[in-house]
Amino acid sequence: MTSRGETLRQLASQSLLSHFADLCDGTVIVDADANVVWMSDRYLGRLGIDVPAAAIGRPIEEVIPNSLMRQVVESGRPIMVDIMDFGDDAFVVTRLPLRDAGGKVVGAVGFMLYDDPRHLTPVVARFQRLRADLAEAERKLVAERRTRYSFTSFVGLGPACAELKQAARRAARTSASVLILGETGTGKELLAQSIHAASPRAAGAFVAVNIAAVPETLLEAEFFGVAPGAYTGADRRGREGKFKLADGGTLFLDEIGDMSLALQAKLLRTLQEREFEPVGSNRLETADVRVIAATSRDLEKMVAEGAFRADLYYRLNVIRLETPPLRARTEDMPLLAEYLVEQICRRQGIAVRGIGADAIARLRRHGWPGNVRELSNVLERALLMTDSDLLEAADLDRVMPSVAVEPAWRAAAEGRAPAGLAETVAQAERRAIHAAIEACHGNKAKAARMLGISRAALYEKIAVLGL
């Protein structure tokens, strides 16, 4: 340090000490033996000492019985804020060590900041509010990582549903990887949450990642996190990835079939070694994560075509569960429809309604390519378009699309009207979209180009048509 810098430092130290002495309600200085060498008149007055010489040279504890100045001298560490009792009074004090040019502790200085702790009330109240806000934020974050569903949420009593839930309960007792296969809308995430909730990891976080919804360029950062300042615009504090967030819990990888081969290799290594490197970091981090993956695609076919790594497939496919499509468990339709109607009514804030037998029969005649998600959509639309206390088949006919084109003679033979023009067009669009997505192996951007529409229009049609 230059001589000018040293001079300024000494002036700053002297000025700071002088200002503190003037602003505070009292100042005391002790030497290396914790004996009083100086005490301000204001401090002497607060302590009731009329003769200043009576305090000088005495051990600090004889003058101020509860003082911790000796501790500061011996440890060399400051005590920034403390409440010191003195008789019936209490003082807010701070204590700092004093060092010579060589850094040796030669004494300590103490300041009486306030002669009444109540002066700290605004500071303490603000601290308590901040601590309460932090606790509430942490509570909400933990709640978001908790599961919302259990096996009771997977409604159904038929053989297919009962067999699936029994297999899932067995899977919950282990820490093995689980692969859930099934069409879209069959409750794959619900089943994954149920497995986590019934597992020994239930107290840990359940973290879900929809791979199809995250841009390919961001997936690595989403999984493994980002080191501080890893690239321009990156958070200086860094960002934890989903593997770290799920440490000790379960990581649910939805639409695993949409993952690129490059990221599949990194995921495989993480699953094998239980370690990973955040983006922009050379430091390995570890995570104890149970992985549950799900997809609506044919992974075995993708492996045969080279579109999915065989080693990753075998790593994920330790326990395999298949969610049955709704058309394969029509025996559950009455129970499932009643459950959904009740849930929808409560969510929409309307009176809980019933569903008639003719409506159930109408639901059973539908093919349900969108499965339970499509069923929920149909019931919600029907409930919002009727004032009746009981949902009837006629209410459903106004909102239900036709799934399969049937010959006019078959409809006439059964005494029903053939499909209308709108239903026929909707069915044709549904078939075309299915074929395009299948041909593009699930790549919706390519499928949109093949169909000659924008990607946004494709997503809109998928939602409208219940795909």
pLDDT at 223 over 70: yes
The reported pLDDT for the residue numbered 466 is 61
* CATH code of the domain made up of 12-120: 3.30.450.20
**Contact, 94 vs 82, CB < 8 A?**
yes
Location of each CATH 3.40.50.300 domain in the chain: 151-229+237-324
Domain 415-467 falls in which CATH fold?
A: Arc Repressor Mutant, subunit A (1.10.10)
| DSSP codes joined into one string, 237-280 | T-B--HHHHTTTSEEEEETGGG--HHHHHHHHHHHHHSEE--BT
pLDDT, average across residues 372-380: 91
β-partners of residue 181 are 295, 322
How far apart CA 402 and CA 241 sit, in angstroms, is 43
Percent of the chain with pLDDT over 70: 79
DSSP-assigned states of every residue in 279-302:
BT----EE---EEEEEESS-HHHH
Which of these CATH numbers, 1.10.8.60, 3.40.718.10, 3.40.50.10310, 1.10.3720.10, describes 328-400? 1.10.8.60
Q: Is the pTM of this model over 0.75?
A: no
User: What pLDDT is attached to residue 446?
Assistant: 80
The pLDDT assigned to 405 comes to: 44
In this structure, whether the domain defined by 151-229+237-324 belongs to CATH 3.40.50.970 is answered with: no
Q: Which residues contact 273 (CB under 8 A, 6 or more apart)?
A: none
**Confidence band of 17 (pLDDT split at 50, 70, 90):** low
Roughly what angle, to the nearest 10 degrees, separates helices 371-384 and 333-348?
50
Beta-sheet pairing, 290-295 with 250-254: parallel
Where, residue-wise, is CATH 1.10.8.60 in the chain? 328-400
Q: What are phi and psi of 290, to 5 degrees?
A: -95, 125
- Answer for the pair 247, 291: CB distance below 8 angstroms, yes or no: no
Give the C-alpha separation, 256 to 209, whole Å.
9
Q: Is the pLDDT of residue 96 over 50?
A: yes
What is residue 306's predicted lDDT score, i.e. its pLDDT?
92
Ranges in the chain annotated CATH 1.10.10.60: 415-467
112 vs 358, which has greater pLDDT? 358
Instruction: Average the pLDDT over each of 49-58, 173-182, 231-240, 451-460 and give the range with the smallest value.
Output: 231-240
- Pick from 467, 257, 57, 75: which is nearest to 459 by CA? 467
